[in-house]
Amino acid sequence: MHRRSPQAHSSLREFGQRIDRITGHLNVLLVVIALGLATLDFTFFVTEKVIDSLPPITVSNNGPPAAAH
């Protein structure tokens, strides 16, 4: 069985700490993205409800009829 040198053990620990720090930053980024997408989804939902509650648009044609070509 091979024994690891103290230097190899230390470099593995540093590597683990780096990975832990990177994943911590990545988790923060993913939470920010998720909150942004949830806000966007909520905004579209509210906009859809507001548009559905508006009265329909009626087009009136009070001018003279267009000449047919």
Q: 12: Cβ–Cβ under 8 A, 6 or more apart, which residues?
A: 4
Domain extents in the chain: 12-54
Nearest to 43 by CA among 51, 54, 31: 51
Alpha-carbon distance 34 to 7, whole Å? 40
Biggest CA pair distance of the chain:
98
Please, what are the averages of pLDDT over each run of 10 residues along the chain (69 residues)? 65 91 92 97 94 83 69
Q: 56: Cβ–Cβ under 8 A, 6 or more apart, which residues?
A: none
The pTM assigned to this predicted structure is 0.56
pLDDT of 44: 95
